[in-house]
Amino acid sequence: MSEQPGLPDSDVQELAGRLFDMARAGDAVTLAQYVDAGVPVDLTNGSGDTLVMLAAYHGHVDTVRSLIDRGADVNRANDRGQTPLAGAVFKGEDAVVAALVAGGADPVAGQPSALDAARMFGRDDYLQMLGKHPE
């Protein structure tokens, strides 16, 4: 997050850290208020994780839905090539997987992809949800 006029860089970094913590904790209401007030919905941390990535990985479906409703890029990969959908599949977050799929997440995006993760963990239910039949 770049320095904002009138805010010292340390204040901006502190705010960004709090926003990422809100995504990890599932504070959908407060996070939505910040995004509605102008915080970029696809704000990324030093690892390239977006708010929706952190909310998805930590299993916060209401936060994921709220960010999707505000235009979050559900296919944006972090610096390691991981997508929110693949992270949710990896963690076994059924409701989050469903919300991301409904929000347009691409099951073949990223490395490994959500499809790769579903196959690796033998999650035929996810393969069905992702539109692929178990092999």
Summarised one tens digit per residue, pLDDT across range 70-113 is 999 999 999 999 999 999 999 999 999 999 999 999 999 999 99
* 44 bridge partner residues: 50
Continuous H helices in the chain:
9-25, 28-36, 51-57, 61-69, 84-91, 94-102, 114-120, 124-129
State both tokens at 52.
Answer: 């929706």
Topology of the domain comprising 9-129: 1.25.40
Summarised one tens digit per residue, pLDDT across range 40-77 is 999 999 999 999 999 999 999 999 999 999 999 999 99
The three-point CA angle 50-23-70 to 5° equals: 65
Q: What is d(CA 71, CA 24) in angstroms, rounded to the nearest whole number?
A: 18
- Give the CB-side neighbour count of residue 35, counting CA atoms within 13 A: 26
pLDDT of residue 8: 62
Query: Any idea how long the chain is?
Result: 135
The three-point CA angle 100-112-42 to 5° equals: 45
User: Which of the four pLDDT bands, split at 50, 70 and 90, describes residue 9?
Assistant: confident
pLDDT of residue 1: 45
Q: What global pTM score does this model have?
A: 0.89
Summarised one tens digit per residue, pLDDT across range 118-131 is 999 999 999 999 98
